[in-house]
Amino acid sequence: MRRLLPSIAAVTMTASLLVAGPATAKSPTPKPVDTSKLTKAVTVNGIVQHLRQLQVIANRNEGTRASGLPGHTESADYVAKKLKQAGYTVKRQKFIFPFTRELEPATLTQVTPAQREVETHTMDYSGTGDVTGPVIATNDVMIPPAAEPSSTSGCEASDFSPAPAEPAIALIQRGTCTFGEKAVNAAAAGYDAVILFNEGQPGRDELLTGTLGDPIDIPVVGVSYEDGAALAADGVTARVTTKTETDLNRETENVIADLPAKQLKKANADQVVVVGAHLDSVAAGPGINDNGSGSATILEIAEQMSALKLTKKLERPVRFAFWGAEEAGLLGSEHYVASLSDTALSKIYANLNFDMLGSPNYVRFVYDGDGSAGGDAGPAGSDAIERIFTDYFGSKHLASEPTDFDGRSDYGPFIEAGIPAGGLFSGAEGVKTPEEAAVYGGAAGEPYDACYHAACDDISNLNTTALQELGDAAAHATAVLTMSRTGLFPDGSLTGKAGKSKALAKEPQLVR
> Any idea which residues carry the catalytic annotation?
326
Alpha carbon 161 to chain centroid, angstroms? 35
How far is residue 201's CA from residue 2's CA, in Å, rounded to a whole number? 19
Helix axis angle for 44-60 and 294-307, nearest 10°, is 130
Question: 44, 42, 93, 27: which is closest to 340 by C-alpha?
Answer: 93
The alpha-carbon radius of gyration of the chain (Å, integer) is 23
**CA angle, corner 399, sides to 397 and 405, nearest 5?**
135
Q: DSSP letter at 511?
A: G
Alpha carbon 494 to chain centroid, angstroms? 26
- End-to-end CA distance of the chain: give it in Å, rounded: 15
C-alpha distances (whole Å) from 342 to each of 15, 324, 417 are 10, 23, 10
CA torsion sign for 420, 425, 430, 433 is positive
Question: Taking a C-beta distance cutoff of 8 angstroms, is the pair 479, 388 a contact?
Answer: no
DSSP-assigned beta bridge partners for residue 350: 273
Question: 363, 288, 298, 349: which is closest to 83 by C-alpha?
Answer: 298
Contact partners, residue 366, CB within 8 Å, separation at least 6 = 386, 389, 390, 393, 400, 401, 402, 403, 422, 423, 424, 425
Alpha carbon 470 to chain centroid, angstroms? 17
DSSP-assigned beta bridge partners for residue 250: 97
C-alpha distances (whole Å) from 204 to each of 139, 294, 306, 453, 511 are 21, 25, 44, 16, 12
